[in-house]
Amino acid sequence: MISKVLIANRGEIALRILRACKELGIATVAVHSTADADAMHVRLADESVCIGPPPSKDSYLNIHQIVAACEITGADAVHPGYGFLSENAKFADILEAHGITFIGPTAEHIRLMGDKITAKQTAEELGIPVVPGSEGEVTEENALKIAREIGFPVLIKATAGGGGRGMKVAKTEADLMEAFNTARTEAASAFGNPAVYMEKYLGKPRHIEVQVVGDGMGDAIHLGERDCSLQRRHQKVWEEANSPALNVEQRMKIGQICADAMKKMKYRGAGTIEFLYENGEFYFIEMNTRLQVEHPITEAITGIDLVHEQIRVASGGGLSVKQDEIVFNGHAIECRINAEDPRTFVPSPGTITHFHAPGGLGVRVDSGAYQGYKIPPYYDSLIGKLIVHGRTRVECMMRLRRVLDEFVIDGIKTTLPLFQDLIGNQDIANGDYDIHWLEEYLAQTSE
Ligand code: ADP
């Protein structure tokens, strides 16, 4: 059994994990950098440990300090949240060597899915449909041959990729070598590994991802899908569950394929299998072996607390539900509230002078922000998430419109006005958008 969890993260996700622990009667330890001494997760945790100066590499990514904090406080488990060390296999290994439970998958599975080429090969072996592309790494010698076999346009992607970096499209043969070289250079500087692979470039896909949870012993469930097509620079902005593009049969079919794959792998913990979806076909792009930012919309429509499930599974207690007990109820939308200019997306750190979160039926705000809180400039600009649930998509959108008008965050710029624009748009109302829609909309409306 787990009795004390150290939360190796900050911001809204640290608070989210803390809430789940409190509900389960588990003691909590917050860790923080000197810049986060006043953060809400630090105030609410049972104990807290300062692990270093503001830069992430010296604090939230400092494995040494985090393990020391576990030893000092007697924490017997670590929840890594998302980002930071959540997909760091070495961290999982080190914790295990210290007899501390990592609330997540095995280090072996993190490694397997962390490398995009082995992830794709594994997905294919497990019966998951993948994007047509190169078998492995693409080199200067074989690039043209492979691109011709796949057919232009092609996408060159970093093997160690993340956050859309090291990704370049080649529309024709003439563009190929330049795209190849730029992708390699970007990959080398962003990930310290220049290796790239190649995929068919899909023109107008949606981004649809399936939530899975495995017990590590051969049982696994899926919790339906999320549509995260509304993106800017490959960063998700607005997410929906269910996808406006799928019907029940499609949902259950792709969900079952993913759950079966996780059973075969004996996957442990929460994970997300990401697809591009075009013309009725799913194409696997990657698997994230952690909790995602947008997990609350899945919780809204299933009523299942994913962090509770993660903790149960990590304690060896199995899943709390069976697949046929899961009921998908209504529709949920999440808006990511970033401390950014809503048009240019330039970060806007500073002090929140007034903060009023909306309420009412079907409304959830996950945020560590409060009046007087000073947003430090060192980290991700996500300061909160607004999650709205309704019995139907129409009801959910009506509620979201009301809730956006009620939300007040003064003193800094936020992305709230962007959502107020989007809620009035006809394509959004119709659920008719793909992964390029938002960039095109922003370009058109800024003229
Ligand atoms: P990362 O790990 O860098 O986020 P992903 O493989 O998850 O990379 O892809 C990120 C985004 O890039 C996708 O959501 C999609 O918008 C775009 N993308 C990825 N692969 C393709 C593809 N084959 N064709 C078109 N767009 C793609």
Q: Where are the alpha helices (DSSP H) in 84-172?
A: 89-97, 107-114, 116-125, 143-150
Measured from the Cα of 167, ligand 1's closest atom is: 3
Q: Is the CB of residue 426 less than 8 Å from the CB of residue 277?
A: no
Task: Note the pLDDT of residue 219.
Answer: 98
Q: State the Cα–Cα distance between residues 329 and 242, nearest whole angstrom.
A: 9
Q: Is 165 a catalytic residue?
A: no
Q: Is 243 exposed, middle or buried (0-12, 13-18, 19+ CB in 10 A)?
A: buried
58 Cα to the center of ligand 1, angstroms = 30
**How far apart (Å, rounded) are the C-alpha atoms in residues 387 and 365?**
6
| Domain spanning 132-200, CATH architecture | 2-Layer Sandwich (3.30)
Q: Which backbone phi and psi does 129 adopt, to 5 degrees? A: -70, 135
pLDDT of residue 160: 86
Pocket test residue of 86, 159, 234 for ligand 1, highest count of atoms within 8 A of CB: 234
The whole-angstrom separation of Cα 220 and Cα 208 is 19
Which amino acid belongs to residue 180?
Answer: F
CA dist 126 → 91, 178, 257, 264, 272 (Å): 27, 34, 9, 7, 15
Sequence letter at residue 64: H
Query: What are the respective helix, strand and coil percentages of the chain, to the nearest 5?
Result: 35, 25, 35
| Confidence category of residue 375, pLDDT binned at 50, 70, 90 | very high
pLDDT tens digits for range 303-334: 999 999 999 999 999 999 999 999 999 999 99
Preceding peptide of 242 cis, ω within 30°: yes
Can you tell me the distance from the alpha carbon of 118 to that of 109, in angstroms, rounded to the nearest whole number?
Answer: 11
Q: Is the Cβ–Cβ distance between 336 and 11 less than 8 Å? A: no
Helix (H, G, I), strand (E, B) or coil at 121: helix
Q: Is pLDDT at 110 greater than 70 in this prediction?
A: yes
The catalytically annotated residue of 10, 251, 268, 290 is 290
**What percentage of the chain has pLDDT greater than the value 70?**
100
- Mean pLDDT, the chain, integer: 96
Q: How confident is the model at residue 199 (pLDDT cuts 50, 70, 90)?
A: very high
Q: Which residue has the tokens 């190649």?
A: 198
pLDDT surpasses 80 at 404? yes
**Nearest atom within ligand 1 for CA of residue 283:** 23
- Work out which ligand 1 atom sits closest to the CA atom of 231: 16
Ligand 1 center to 164 CA (angstroms): 6
| Element at 197 (helix H, strand E) | strand 196-200
Mean pLDDT of 390-419: 98
For the record, the structure tokens of 69 come out as: 């904090």
- Could you tell me the pLDDT band of residue 356, with boundaries at 50, 70 and 90? very high
Report pLDDT for 52: 98
The residue among 253, 186, 263 whose CA lies nearest residue 221 is 263
Q: Which two tokens stand for residue 138?
A: 């693409």
Q: For a ligand 1 pocket test, name from 200, 272, 276, 278 the mutation site with the most ligand atoms within 8 angstroms of its C-beta.
A: 276
Domain 206-445: CATH architecture, name and number where available? 2-Layer Sandwich (3.30)
Whether the Cβ atoms of residue 197 and residue 119 lie closer than 8 Å to each other: no
Pocket test for ligand 1, best of 146, 167, 230 (most atoms within 8 A of CB): 167
Q: What is the pTM (predicted TM-score) of this model?
A: 0.95
Interior/surface letters 15-38, b for 16+ CB within 10 angstroms, e for the rest: bbbbbbbeeeebbbbbbbbebbee
Q: How far is the CA of 17 from the centre of ligand 1 (A)?
A: 28
> Residue 165: pLDDT band by 50, 70, 90 thresholds?
confident
Please check the confidence at residue 175 and state whether its pLDDT lies above 90: yes
Give 21-51 pLDDT, tens digit per residue. 999 999 999 999 999 999 999 999 999 999 9
Pocket lined around ligand 1, Cβ cut-off 6 Å: 131, 155, 161-164, 199-202, 205, 207, 231, 234, 274, 276, 285-286, 435
For residues 85, 387, 242, 127, the Cα torsion angle rounded to the nearest 10 degrees is 10
pLDDT confidence band for 161 (50 / 70 / 90):
confident
Whole-number pLDDT of residue 447: 64
Per-domain boundaries in the chain: 4-86, 132-200, 206-445
Q: Which two tokens stand for residue 431?
A: 């659920």
Question: Which is it for strands 167-170 and 196-200: parallel, antiparallel or unpaired?
Answer: unpaired
426 burial via Cβ count (<10 Å: 0-12, 13-18, 19+): exposed
Q: Using the predicted structure, report yes or no on whether residue 286 has a pLDDT greater than 80.
A: yes
Q: Per-residue pLDDT tens for 201-241?
A: 999 999 999 999 999 999 999 999 999 999 998 899 999 99
H helices present in 192-239, as ranges? none
3.40.718.10, 3.40.50.300, 3.40.630.10, 3.40.50.20: CATH of 4-86: 3.40.50.20
